[in-house]
Amino acid sequence: MQHQHGPNCGCAEYMFNEDADDLYGQIEIDKVDCLNETAQNIKQIIRPEIDKTKKDHYVQSDLDSEIIVIIPFNETVRIRQINIVSLNEGSAPNLMKAYINISNVDFGLIETPCVEQFILSPNLDGLFGNAVKISKFENVNNLILYIKSTINDPIRISYIGLKGIRTFQSKQLANTIYELNPLAKQVDPDKVVFDSVC
């Protein structure tokens, strides 16, 4: 029987992750990007956790069995677990490197040291999420995953899921209105001498 995680199982993947939630709602799906995929369907494999076993959409690598997935968030999050589900065993990746908060990503990135490196198992049913080192994934606005296989070519991935904790803080452009003089009626409503709008 498959092992079911519970509070007392002591598995590394489950420890410290009882309060981690699915971060699907915090991912900015429109801005998700993937380098070196054959068709542009990366947005269809980012799904809520319930749908993680669905195999109708997948991302396939184009040249050389490696892809880079760029996942921006709409608020700062703390990542606890990264879950990769591949389509089948013959196209499963076996190596993943994770980077955080990098803009202008291209394949030159992999020559720089990564935040954390993972060995992936085929994980066809999505039960084994890779737990991350918590301290290194504290303030994440932008997650970059480099996924490859040294054996299979090409690789096909049907689901990418993230679990973690929201901080409810976000980095955004401030919408400001500049005033030269405050409007008289805002300072003292009884005293409207003349209305000037700047």
Partner 1 sequence: MPLEAAVVVLDNSEFSRNGDLEPSRWNAQQEAIELYINIVIDSNMESGMGLILGGGKQVRLLMTPTNDRDLIQGQFHKTRLEGNLKFSVALQQASLALKHRINKQQHQRIVAFVASPIEEEVDTLVNLAKRLKKNNIAIDLINFGEQNEEHLQKLKIFFENVQKGSSSKYINIQPGMSATETLFSTLGNYSDFQAEPGQQQQQAPQQSTGGQFSEYGGFDPNVDPEMALIMKMSLEDEAQRQQQQLAQQLQQSQQQQQQPQQQQQQQIQEEKIENVIEEENDELLEQARLLSMQIEQQEQQEQPNQTAQQQQKQSQLTQNQLFQDQNFLDELLDDVNKDEEQEGLLKKDADKSKKD
Q: Which residues bind partner 1 (CB under 8 A)?
A: 30-31, 33, 35-36, 40, 62-64, 103-104, 106-108
Q: Least distance in Å: CB of 110 to partner 1? A: 12
Q: Least distance in Å: CB of 35 to partner 1? A: 6
Single-letter residue type at 154: P
- Nearer to partner 1 by Cβ, of 4 and 112: the residue is 112
- Kindly tell me the number of DSSP H helices and DSSP E strands found in the chain: 1, 9
- Nearer to partner 1 by Cβ, of 33 and 49: the residue is 33
- Nearer to partner 1 by Cβ, of 16 and 107: the residue is 107
Which contacts qualify for 122-125: CB closer than 8 Å, 24 or more apart?
122/86, 122/89, 122/92, 123/83, 123/84, 123/85, 123/86, 123/92, 124/85, 124/86, 124/88, 124/89, 124/92, 125/53, 125/85
- Nearer to partner 1 by Cβ, of 7 and 108: the residue is 108
Q: 187 has which bridge partners?
A: none
Q: Least distance in Å: CB of 62 to partner 1? A: 5
Distance CA 27, CA 61 (A): 22
Q: Least distance in Å: CB of 71 to partner 1? A: 14
- Nearer to partner 1 by Cβ, of 168 and 194: the residue is 194
Q: Least distance in Å: CB of 134 to partner 1? A: 29
Question: How far does CA 65 lie from the centroid of its chain?
Answer: 21
